Chain A
Amino acid sequence: MIKIKDLQAGIEGKDILRGINLEINSGEVHAIMGPNGSGKSTLSSIIAGREDYEISSGSIDFEGEDLMDLSPEDRAHKGIFLSFQYPVEIPGVTVSNFIKTAINESRKGRGEEPMGAREMLAMMREKTALLEMDKSYLSRSLNEGFSGGEKKRNEIFQMAMLQPKLAILDETDSGLDIDALRIVANGVNKLRSKNNAVLVITHYQRLLDYIEPDFVHVLYNGKIVKSGDKSLALELEAKGYDWIKAENV
C-alpha cells in the first residue's frame, strides 16, 4: 500500500529523518516505537503532507502513486488519515458539521456525490456507539473544552467515519486512561480489515497490548534501526531505549 524509500528530511536546516525505508501492505498493522526526538511525529506529518519540512531525498509511493506532489487534502481524499497527537480546537464548528464537511469534501475530491443526510446520520449514530460516545458529542464545538481522552476518542470517531485506507495513529495512547485506551483500541480493531492498514506510532508498549501489530520498528535518530514482530515491543519495554541507544552509538 505504502512504500517509503530512503526518506531524508529536516526542518530549518536540522536533519530529522536520515533515510527511512518502510513498506506497509493492506491488512497489516505496523508499529513504530522510539524515544522522544527520534523523528516519529515528523514521519507521520510528512506522510500526511505537512509542508513545514524540507525533504532532501527519497520517495513515498501510495498505491502506485508518488505522494510528494500532492496536497494534504488530496492525500486525505486518497485515503490517508492521521490521528493527531494534539488535535486542534475549532470554536463554533460542531463535530457533526466538521465531519460532514470532511466526508463531503473528500467525496467531491474523488468525484463522488455527497453523502445523503439520512445515511450520514445513521453512520454517525453507529460510530458514536462504537466508541461509546454520548450523542451530545456531535453538537459540541470541535475539541473545544474536550478532555485529552475525549479529543483522542474524537480522532478515532473521525477515522471511523472517513474509513481511510491507511490510518496513522500518532501517540493516540497519550493522555488516555485505561478505560479510554481500551475503547479507542477496540474501535481501531473493529475497523481493521484486509483492505486497510494501520501505522501506530507510540512511545510505550501499552497500546500494543490492545492493538496487536504484525510488525514493530524501532526509530532512533532518524533511522529505523531494528524491525521485528510484536515480541520486539516487549523486549523494548523490558530493556528500555538505552539498549537501542547503546547499540547505535
Chain B
Amino acid sequence: MGDEILGEITASEYKYGFTTEIESDTVPPGLNEDVIRLISSKKNEPDWMLEWRLDAFRTWSKMKEPDWPNVHYNKPDFQAISYYSAPKQKKTLDSLEEVDPELLKTFEKLGISLDEQKRLSGVAIDVVVDSVSVATTFKETLAEKGIIFCSMSDAIQEHPELVRKHLGTVVPKQDNFYAALNSAVFTDGSFCYIPKGVHCPMELSTYFRINEAGTGQFERTLLVADSGSFVSYLEGCTAPQRDENQLHAAVVELVAMEDAEIKYSTVQNWYPGDAEGKGGVFNFVTKRGICERKAKISWTQVETGSAVTWKYPSCILKGDHSIGEFYSVAVTNKYQQADTGTKMIHLGKNTKSTIISKGISAGRSHNSYRGLVRVGARAENARNFSQCDSLLMGDQCGAHTFPYIEAQHPTAQIEHEATTSKIGEDQLFYCNQRGIGTEEAIALIVNGYCKEVLNQLPMEFAVEAQKLLEVSLEGSVG
C-alpha cells in the first residue's frame, strides 16, 4: 500500500513550478575580481564595500568547499554561474502600479499579491526577486518609529555607517566557504534596524524567489535590534521549477543588543528536484545571531524544499543571562538531502538554550540533524535542553543525528533527548477506521508531531507552514 501512495505523491508536480518572463540584466557567467567590481559599480557602492567584497573573494579563492556534511551532490561549477541578475526597471518605483505586470502576476500565483498584503494583513514586505528589491511597503509607518527596513543595497547607500559597523561581525567574511562567497558577490537582501526600546509593531517579512535560470542567489540579511527592542521577522520562499541545480548561499546575521529580542521565522520551500532527484536548489546557508546581556534570539524554521540543504541557524550567547532558541521542522522526500541543525555557543553566565528539532524523512531522502552545544570556560550555570526527534515514512529513507556537546565549565547542565519513530500501519488504520483517508491521516499525524515547532510561528505563517507540510508529504506512508 505504501509504495503505491508514495508513487502517487512523487508524481505530483511541484506546485510553484512556473517562471516569469521578465527581461533580465544578467552578467555573463564566471567569477573574478572584475565581476565583483562590476557588481559593485552596478550597485553604485562606496569603496569600502568594494574592498570588503574583494577581500572576501581573495579569502574564498583559497578555501575549499566543505565535505563534512552528510550530503552527496555534484559540486557546483562556480565559473558557470552568473553572479548578477536584476529585473530591468526604468526608474525607481513610487507605487505598485509601476511594477512590471509580469512580476505582479508572479506574486499573484504565489498568493502574495502586494496589494492584498498591504490591505489585509498589515505585514510589511520587502520582496526580493532575482536579487533586486522591487518594492518595499510600509516603509513610512516603520520610519515613524525610527525602524529601518529596506533592501541591503539601499542600506549601503542610505545607512552606510550602520551597515559598516555590523556587517560581518556575526558571520565574518572568512567564516566558511559559502559565507566567503556570499560576502564577495551578494547582490541584495534585507537590512533591518530597530532603535532602542522600540517594539516593532508588525511582523517584518521578506519573500525570496529565484527567477533567472542559472543565476545563483546570494542574499545578505542583517538585522540589528538595539537595546531593549523587539522584532519578529518572517522569511519565506518558493522557487520555480528548474532542470539544473540552482545555488543559494545566503548569509543572515542577527545582532541582539542588551535586553533585545529577535524572533526569526523561516518557511523554506525551494524547488526540491523532480521525482528522479534531478534538479532542485542547493541551499547552503549561514545564519547566526549574537546575544548581548539578557538578549534573546529565537530561530524557527520549517524546511520542506531544496535538493540539498546545509543550514545551521546558531546563537552566540555572549552576554550574561542571554537566551537562544531553535525550533525546527525539516522535511525531506524523494531524493532530498538535508543536513541541518544549530549551534548554541554559551559564553556568558546563566545563559540558556533550547533546541527542538523535528526531522521527517520520506521517499529515498536523507535527513540529518547536526547540532553543537558548547559551554565556554566562563559560562557559569549555562543550561541547555535539546530534543531531536525523527519520523520515518517508508523503508528507503534515512534519519541521522549528530549531536556535539562540549562543556568547559563544571556547572553546565546539558540535556539531550532523542526519539525515532515511524508512522505505523496501526496509526493509519486507526485513522482510516474513523473515516479519515490516508492522505489526511498523514497530514494529521505529521502536524501533531510538529506541533511544538509550528506553535512558535506567527499565526498566518503557521497556517501556511501546515499546508506546505501537507503538500510535501502527501501520501508518504510508513
Contact of B434 among A50, A71, A97, A162 (CB under 8 A): A162
What residues of B have a CB within 8 angstroms of the CB of A221 in the complex?
none
Interface 0/1 of B403-443, CB less than 8 Å to A:
00000000000000000000011110111111111101000
Assess the A92–B448 pair: CB atoms within 8 A: yes
What residues of A have a CB within 8 angstroms of the CB of B432 in the complex?
49, 71-73, 76
Q: How many residues of A contact B (CB 8 A)?
A: 32
Scan residues 48-90 of chain A and give those whose CB is less than 8 A from a CB of chain B: 48-52, 71-73, 75-77, 81-82, 84, 87-88, 90
Is A93 positioned at the interface, with any CB of B under 8 Å from its CB? yes
Is B447 positioned at the interface, with any CB of A under 8 Å from its CB? yes
Expressed in whole angstroms, the minimum distance between the Cβ of B51 and any Cβ of chain A is 51
Assess the A106–B444 pair: CB atoms within 8 A: no
What residues of B have a CB within 8 angstroms of the CB of A243 in the complex?
none
Assess the B426–A88 pair: CB atoms within 8 A: yes
Given contacts A84-B430, A88-B424, A88-B427, contact A102 B449 (CB under 8 A): no
What residues of B have a CB within 8 angstroms of the CB of A93 in the complex?
444-445, 447-448
Assess the A72–B444 pair: CB atoms within 8 A: no
Expressed in whole angstroms, the minimum distance between the Cβ of A74 and any Cβ of chain B is 9
Assess the B1–A90 pair: CB atoms within 8 A: no
> Nearest chain-B residue to A87 (Cβ)?
B430
| Residue from B440, B447, B452 with most neighbouring chain A CB atoms (10 Å) | B440
What residues of B have a CB within 8 angstroms of the CB of A202 in the complex?
none
The bracket for how many chain B residues form the interface is 20 to 34
Is A109 positioned at the interface, with any CB of B under 8 Å from its CB? yes
What residues of A have a CB within 8 angstroms of the CB of B449 in the complex?
91-92
Assess the B444–A101 pair: CB atoms within 8 A: yes
Given contacts A72-B429, A88-B424, A88-B427, contact A101 B447 (CB under 8 A): no
Assess the A72–B426 pair: CB atoms within 8 A: no
Contact of B433 among A76, A91, A103, A109 (CB under 8 A): A76
**In the assembly, what is the distance between CA of A87 and CA of B427, in Å?**
9
What residues of B have a CB within 8 angstroms of the CB of A92 in the complex?
447-452
Expressed in whole angstroms, the minimum distance between the Cβ of B311 and any Cβ of chain A is 24
| Residue from B427, B437, B451 with most neighbouring chain A CB atoms (10 Å) | B437
Contact of A109 among B424, B426, B427, B435 (CB under 8 A): B435
What residues of B have a CB within 8 angstroms of the CB of A109 in the complex?
435
Expressed in whole angstroms, the minimum distance between the Cβ of A100 and any Cβ of chain B is 10
Is A105 positioned at the interface, with any CB of B under 8 Å from its CB? yes
**In the assembly, what is the distance between CA of A88 and CA of B426, in Å?**
7
> Nearest chain-A residue to B437 (Cβ)?
A73
Expressed in whole angstroms, the minimum distance between the Cβ of A209 and any Cβ of chain B is 28
Is A98 positioned at the interface, with any CB of B under 8 Å from its CB? yes
Scan residues 88-128 of chain A and give those whose CB is less than 8 A from a CB of chain B: 88, 90-93, 97-99, 101-103, 105-106, 109
**In the assembly, what is the distance between CA of A162 and CA of B435, in Å?**
10
**In the assembly, what is the distance between CA of A102 and CA of B441, in Å?**
10
| Residue from B1, B435, B448, B449 with most neighbouring chain A CB atoms (10 Å) | B435
Expressed in whole angstroms, the minimum distance between the Cβ of B424 and any Cβ of chain A is 7
What residues of A have a CB within 8 angstroms of the CB of B440 in the complex?
101, 105
A sample of 11 more A-B contacts (CB under 8 A), given A97-B444, A105-B437, is A50-B429, A52-B425, A71-B437, A82-B433, A88-B424, A88-B426, A92-B447, A93-B444, A93-B448, A105-B436, A106-B434
7 A-B Cβ contacts within 8 A?
A76-B435, A77-B435, A81-B433, A88-B424, A91-B448, A93-B445, A102-B436
